[in-house]
Structure 1
């Protein structure tokens, strides 16, 4: 029952809303008609009848009260005008009221008594001007390197058959110690072959010399035969003139002499050939001797030895590896021949070499920092690079360490290089120097500028010429951004106060001065 009543109520509400939106619809004066069906008691036994059959008022019923429509329209216009008035006037009223309240508050504010301005004072530290002769130290940094280093390569190719157990990185190798051995089989065979070739060449030389000696003996015999034939021919020519010998016998003797002469010339030519062969064999023996020496040297080079006592920097060899002549097997450096390379600026180089001072031969100190401890080592500047590096903008210097140092190659060290002597110099913090040539001194609690000459820059400090300041000057060492002549300063141990203590508080503390800086 309740569900049906609720459904009927919803239908009645929808119908009433539709009728209220129809043009010309007027509310009914019938009290019964004006009853809201929603207020009906749905708990009664009677069901409310749906108003679906309710007829909308006809046009004739609408024309019965024509005077009601103009009055209702006028009332709506008045209400609309009132709403617009409040929308526009209310913000203006609020703004005017707020401005009036603000003016009243400003006019009635209490006057605060202003404190009198006081002079700012800065806490500073002073440096007593005491000109003296100073020899500062130049601090530079460098890297230790080996002055004597070698990369050992395989002198012959082959398979590695042995590696020294002492050949480890960082280990020390004695001079002449065997490091690596290559299979010597082929090189031993080359030595044997060279010996055989040399023996064969020597045998040939002996044979050629024997042939030459035989030719020499034959030549002597032929010369004797030629001499006899010549004598016989001369005697025959004498006899032919006396008529004791016939012409045929003379011709026979000439023929014999000619044959003997040809035999001598042939023997002489053969002897020359034999001598040439001997020279050829001697040259071949010399070549084979060199071949034998080369084979023996290659056989010796199958064992790689250390050229000096050194520390193994690196190795790249293992048992069974096949190596060639271009392979680097071991890198060594001499721990007794160490040097340090560092760079100095052009200004430092000019100071170190000014006057009669010489940079080469100057002794320096190298500090090796090992945690909390420092090991110092002496070194002597040995040479200066021949070319100034455009990238670094400085001059590279090399210093040699004494033998017996415990430094290692690649160590980063701090170097202390003694500078030249400066007379009448004062050392002050670089923060105390303004504009590169001005310092401030303390006079009667005020800052007063002094122009000075800078002698040298030493890191965070600077050397100035103290001849223009005197011994009694007190240089202000604290950096003040507002520094200027007459600026009031105060020492930390004696805070300054103005004469009028009631109006001026004490001067600014030191910590506030640091924040100002």
Structure 2
């Protein structure tokens, strides 16, 4: 009877214990299933050429506003919009009649001043003889000498007035100060013009060489200065640059970055750079727009997608997969990027496995079940 009771009790204990063991196995499987599937990648080093594009405006080497230096009515407009002109070529003629009359008057005044000077000289010589003979006083001699000096001054004034009248007459012929292309012509024949006009007669653009202006942000400037030691050294490192025109085509010639502004624009937070391009076929026009393309070549560099990173207080982090868990890792990247990738200079090495996208949603220490793996070169 006792054996029967003991056997029954043992069977009951086994029936209680077996479900308990099955529950533990199921819990382990659930914990393993909590590992999230993430796209991962194995990083590797390689060579990379990176392009950056910046909006740009195109200007002639000289965009010269042509204002009249004298007032009057336009009697002739000798060019059309878009004409190619040479330095010294006549563009406009302003009514010359009043200035010709002024020049004639100035020349007549010179003759009168010369006659007055001659008379004063004769008088001074006569007074000097009389003074030597003690016929007149020193005062009379001094007065004659003063009259002569005054006549000399009057002649000098007349000559200056004649030069001014001559210059004013020459200003009625408005010429091009440089080789270039004529811009718009807002004023027509018969218009009264003056040097105080709000807008110029036209603009002559010297487009044998073109200046292309683009901007870099303050952070980029700081990064480049730290990397190369100075902005001048950073400019030299840029090498040849390309220009993409507004129709999407690349300009046939490369250019060089010549200068960078030492002042950051308060409104844009950027500094202006100037590149120079030759324009032998006059394809580029002042006032046009385009994009400057900067190319940067790197050797043995690790490249990862920006989606594989997150930022915290201006620092960049990526998640390495270590022992199946996400481990946040501080990385150092090149200041230059193409908007989709980072070039990593420190923090990762070839062979490291990282989470390839959605890094901002990952938690430190999260279990990682690779959903897809690739190698980045």
Q: What is the TM-score when the length of structure 1 is the normalising length?
A: 0.56
CA distance in 2, matches of 1:490, 1:307: 69
Hey, what does 1:359 align to over in structure 2?
234
Conserved 8 A contact 2:244-2:292: no
Name the residue aligned to 2:331: 453
Name the structure 1 match of 2:217: 345
**CA–CA separation in structure 1 for the residues paired with 2:127 and 2:272:** 76
- The corresponding residue for 1:255 is none
Distance 2:348 2:229 in 1: 29
Of Structure 1 and Structure 2, which has the larger fraction of its residues in strand? 2
Contact kept, 8 Å, 1:352 with 1:419, in 2: the verdict is no
CA positional deviation for 1:207 = 1.4
The within-5 A match list for 1:286-365 is 286-327=156-197, 328-354=200-226, 355-356=228-229, 358-361=233-236, 362-365=238-241
Question: Judging changes above 3 Å, is the alpha-carbon distance between structure 1 residues 465 and 307 closer, same or farther for their aligned structure 2 residues?
Answer: closer
Partner-residue secondary structure (3-state), 2:234: coil
Shift of 1:317: 1.6
Residue 439 of structure 1: aligned partner = 319
SS of the equivalent of 1:353 reads: helix
CA–CA distance in 1 between the matches of 2:95 and 2:259?
A: 45
**Between Structure 1 and Structure 2, how many residues are aligned?**
329
Partner of 2:71: 157
Partner of 2:5: none
1:283 to 146, 149, 153: 153
Is the 1:351–1:420 Cα contact (8 Å) retained in structure 2?
no
CA distance in 2, matches of 1:322, 1:413: 38
Partner Cα separation in structure 2 for residue 319 and residue 326 of structure 1: 18
Alignment match, 2:24:
none
The Cα of 1:388 is off from its aligned counterpart by 1.9
Alignment of 1:220-259 (within 5 A): 220=132, 222=133
Tell me which of the two structures has the higher relative contact order, counting C-alpha pairs closer than 8 angstroms and 6 or more residues apart. 2
Distance of 1:214 and 1:482 partners within structure 2: 111
Deviations 1:52-93 (A, max 9, x none): xxxxxxxxxxxxxxxxxxxxxxxxxxxxxxxxxxxxxxxxxx
Partner secondary structure for residue 336 of structure 1? strand
3-state SS in 1 of match to 2:136: helix
CA–CA separation in structure 2 for the residues paired with 1:299 and 1:190? 9
What root-mean-square deviation, in Å, do the aligned CA atoms of Structure 1 and Structure 2 show? 3.2
Q: Which consecutive residues of structure 1, in runs of 5 or more, have no partner in the other structure?
A: 1-115, 223-263, 494-517
Q: What is the TM-score when the length of structure 2 is the normalising length? A: 0.75
Q: 5 Å matches for 1:402-413?
A: 402=278, 404=280, 406-413=283-290
Residues 130 and 136, structure 2, Cα contact 8 Å, conserved in 1: no
User: How far did 1:333 drift?
Assistant: 1.9
Q: Give the helix-richer structure, 1 or 2.
A: 1
Structure 2: runs of 5+ lacking an equivalent? 1-28
Aligned match of 1:101: none
Partner of 1:124: 39
